[in-house]
Amino acid sequence: MDVLRLHGAGDIRLHTEPDPVPLSGEELVRMTAVGLCGSDLHWFEEGAIGEDRVREPFVLGHEMGGVIASGARAGERVIVEPAHPCGQCADCNSGHGNLCQQVDFCGHFPVPGGLSTYIAWPGHLLIPAPDTIQGDDVALLEPLGIAIHAIDLSHFQSGMTAGVYGCGPIGLFLIRVLRAVGAGHIQASDPLPNRLAAALASGADEARSTEMGGQPEGVDDWGPVDVAFDASGEDAAVETAMRTVRTGGRVVVVGIPPNDRTSFPAALARERGLTIVMSRRMKAHHMHRGIDLVERGKVRLDGLITARFPISAGPEAFARLLARSELKIVVNPSD
């Protein structure tokens, strides 16, 4: 089978390897669609995320779906839940499997991800894809789940106002879910014109341009909103969230920063009495909630995938990801 392996920062190569052999409880899945996301970009740019580094060539990809290739479920279209928590630790037992320190997570070193023709993965983590979610859209349910988890952390209630700063796919899903659950007003910002247009198309009431590393024009007169989200990982977006959220409000940091550091004006956060919440991945039920929102027509998946590549063009796909010229890039490993 074909496999894309990251050898180090900026170095991704196509390999030919034997198909995986499923263990007990696992299924062999032919991968049809794998989305590239911000964490994949960090791995590619830096060869690391936080304290975890590439120590040997490994396979990225955790936003994914495919078709079960053998056994009793052969032919079933599935969405892959990429996290396999241990189920036994204190975090798992308290309902926080997303914080499990023994988790196996697809595409996070050393666990191989989905950028290969086939993967072997536990059957209970393969969610049947409904007919309402077709084709490459199976790769969009994981980022949708990330957005749902972040909104839960914000303590959002219908009628509240919100700010979303950073309008890549996670930011766009934040906007779409906030609109679906009754946001009164949504404001957004991003440096890239195509993302600002996508924010408005996704349901933002206003979207302002910002310089990379800077603040939107008139930021101190913009808002206040009840909850604010950093969806970029940039310090400037965190500061925008702090400047525009109401006194005593909540700021949810969703983006992954470069070089594992987030900085903000401490006096601003302290004087305004802000609650700062860090969001990590999602809980098991968020994927199912996302599927339900799509099936009921509450959240749209259209307009997000703007480029597709066969696995043989993996280096080109990552070059496009690095250029930040697309919204969501999908690799089709079995085409």
Q: Are residues 177 and 121 in the same domain?
A: no
Q: Are residues 156 and 191 in the same domain?
A: yes
As a whole number of angstroms, the distance between CA 185 and CA 279 comes to: 22
The confidence score (pLDDT) of residue 222 equals 86
CB hemisphere CA count around 119 (13 angstroms):
33
DSSP reduced 3-state for 260: helix
288, part of any domain: no
Average pLDDT over residues 74-86: 96
The pLDDT tens digits of the residues spanning 38-58 come to 889 988 988 888 778 888 999
Q: Are residues 129 and 148 in the same domain?
A: no
Q: Are residues 273 and 178 in the same domain?
A: yes
The confidence score (pLDDT) of residue 285 equals 87
Q: Count how many domains the chain has.
A: 2
DSSP letters of 127-166?
A: EEPPTTS-GGGGGGHHHHHHHHHHHHHTT--TT-EEEEE-
The pLDDT tens digits of the residues spanning 126-175 come to 999 999 999 999 999 999 999 999 999 999 999 999 999 999 999 999 99
Q: How far is CA 309 from the centre of its chain?
A: 19
182, part of any domain: yes
Average pLDDT over residues 52-74: 94
Q: Are residues 76 and 120 in the same domain?
A: yes
The confidence score (pLDDT) of residue 131 equals 94
Show the domain range for 119. 2-133+301-332
pTM, two decimal places: 0.94
Radius of gyration of the chain (CA): 19
Q: Are residues 254 and 164 in the same domain?
A: yes
Confidence of residue 261 (pLDDT cuts 50, 70, 90): confident
Q: Are residues 165 and 227 in the same domain?
A: yes
- Joined together, the tokens standing for residue 51 give 């304290």
Q: How many beta carbons lie within 10 A of that of residue 119, not counting itself?
A: 29
Average pLDDT over residues 304-317: 96
Q: Burial-class residue 144 by CB neighbours within 10 Å (0-12, 13-18, 19+).
A: buried
CB 14 within 8 A of CB 128: no
DSSP letters of 24-88?
A: TTEEEEEEEEEEE-HHHHHHHHHSEETTEE--S-B----EEEEEE-SSTTTT-EEEE--EE--S-
Nearest to 170 by CA among 13, 320, 282: 282
Say which CATH number the domain at 150 has.
3.40.50.720
Q: Are residues 7 and 79 in the same domain?
A: yes
Beta bridge partners of 49: 52
What helix, strand, coil percent values describe the chain, rounded to 5?
A: 30, 30, 40
The confidence score (pLDDT) of residue 158 equals 97
285, part of any domain: no
204, part of any domain: yes
Q: Are residues 179 and 88 in the same domain?
A: no
Nearest to 111 by CA among 65, 55, 35: 55
The confidence score (pLDDT) of residue 181 equals 96
As a whole number of angstroms, the distance between CA 70 and CA 27 comes to: 7
Q: Are residues 66 and 90 in the same domain?
A: yes
Q: Are residues 274 and 160 in the same domain?
A: yes
Say which CATH number the domain at 82 has.
3.90.180.10
186, part of any domain: yes
Q: Are residues 15 and 97 in the same domain?
A: yes
Q: Please say if the pLDDT value at position 307 is more than 90.
A: yes
